[in-house]
Structure 1
Amino acid sequence: MPARESLPLFPLHTVLLPGASLDLRVFERRYLDMVRDCGRSGRGFGVCMILEGGEAGAPAVPAAFGTEALIEDFGTDGGGLLTLQVRGNRRFHVSRTRVRDNGLIMADVEWREADLDDSLRPEHALLATVLQHFLEKAGGEHSKVSNARFDDVAWVGWRLAEFLPLEDAQRLRILQEDDPHARLDQLLRMMP
């Protein structure tokens, strides 16, 4: 049976994927308290795409799948707001939510199985080539990875889902898929 855990949620109008970096500005008291608690405990928080509602104000309705966000760096912007750089870690499925008095959504989550260490299949080799060419041109943190990464089915899938011009609903479908080979099949169908 998957491990269950309670996790604070930070619903956003985006999908955080495993391994992806995301910059956040935090200004609402509920999220400032959440960040403080995460810093004290050394734990992350959950990012789920918003299905209904907004990022600020009344608690939004989050998707049932999300990604644990680990804080990598923090600071303040020119206006004094807290800024965070987070990285997507483990995927989870929300089984139940409740809203605290301060408006913070707490979720009972089941962690999804970690991706298997598996190689690309021949039918997906083109996707690794597309990703490699894109990263060479775009630069950034993934542009200097070893060639071995381009044979890692899960890594190729997550990076393609991160960089392809997909709608958030499409990224959410990718996030929900447990089989990394099936993720690549979906990405092949979604490619422009």
Structure 2
Amino acid sequence: MTSVESLPLFPLHKVLLPGAAMDLRIFERRYLDLVRDCGRSGTGFGVCLILEGSEAGAPATPAAYGVEALIENFDMGEDGLLSLRVRGHRRFHVVRTRVRDNGLVMADVEWLHSDEDLEILPEHALLGTLLQTMMEKVGTDISKLPARVFEHAGWVGWRLAQVLPITPLQRVSLLQENDVNARLQRLLEWID
């Protein structure tokens, strides 16, 4: 049986993916408390797509799949708001949610398996080449990336899901997929 852990959620109108960075501006008390608690315990929090509701105010209804966000950096902006830089880590499935008195959504989550470190299949090699071309066109210095990274199926899949013009719900559907090759096949079909 899979163990279930409690995780505070930060529902958003965008999807955090494994390995992807995201900037957040924190101003609501519930999220300031969340950041404080994560800082004290050295843990992360969950980011899920909002299915109903908004990012501020009443607690929103989150999607059933999300990604753990680990805080990489924080700063106080000129406007006095806390700015965070987080990076996506582990995927999870929400089993159930509850709302604390302060409006923070807490979830009982099951952690999903990490991606296998598989080489990209020949039928998906085009996706690695496409990603490399896209990154070069936007000025990314790919010489600083590990050798052969564009041949790793999991890494290519998540980076493409991050940059392709797909919908947030399509990104959530990729979070649900445990098979890296099936994920790449879905991306290839969406590109066609």
**TM-score normalized by structure 2?**
0.97
In structure 2, distance between residues paired with 1:28 and 1:140: 34
Matches for 1:105-116 after TM superposition, within 5 Å = 105-116=105-116
> How big is the alpha-carbon RMSD for the aligned residues of Structure 1 and Structure 2?
1.2
Q: Which residue of structure 2 aligns with residue 23 of structure 1?
A: 23
Q: Which residue of structure 1 aligns with residue 148 of structure 2?
A: 148
In structure 1, distance between residues paired with 2:139 and 2:3: 37
Q: Which residue of structure 2 aligns with residue 177 of structure 1?
A: 177
Shift of 1:191: 1.2
Q: Which residue of structure 2 aligns with residue 97 of structure 1?
A: 97
CA 1:137–1:155 in structure 2 vs 1: closer, same or farther (change >3 Å)?
A: same
In structure 2, distance between residues paired with 1:36 and 1:89: 19
Whether contact under 8 Å (1:66, 1:93) holds in the other structure is: yes
Shift of 1:170: 1.0
Matches for 1:63-102 after TM superposition, within 5 Å = 63-102=63-102
**TM-score normalized by structure 1?**
0.97
Shift of 1:3: 3.1
Residue type of the alignment partner of 1:52: E
Q: Which residue of structure 2 aligns with residue 157 of structure 1?
A: 157
CA deviation profile, 1:80-135 (whole Å, cap 9, x unmatched): 00000000000000001000000000000000001111111000000000001111
- For structure 2, the 5+ residue unaligned runs are none
Give me the identity figure in percent. 64
Q: Which residue of structure 1 aligns with residue 132 of structure 2?
A: 132
Whether contact under 8 Å (1:136, 1:143) holds in the other structure is: no
Shift of 1:167: 1.1
Point out 4+ residue stretches in structure 1 off by more than 2 angstroms.
139-144
Shift of 1:142: 6.0
Aligned length: 192
Residue type of the alignment partner of 1:107: A
Q: Is residue 2:118 matched to residue 1:118?
A: yes
- For structure 1, the 5+ residue unaligned runs are none
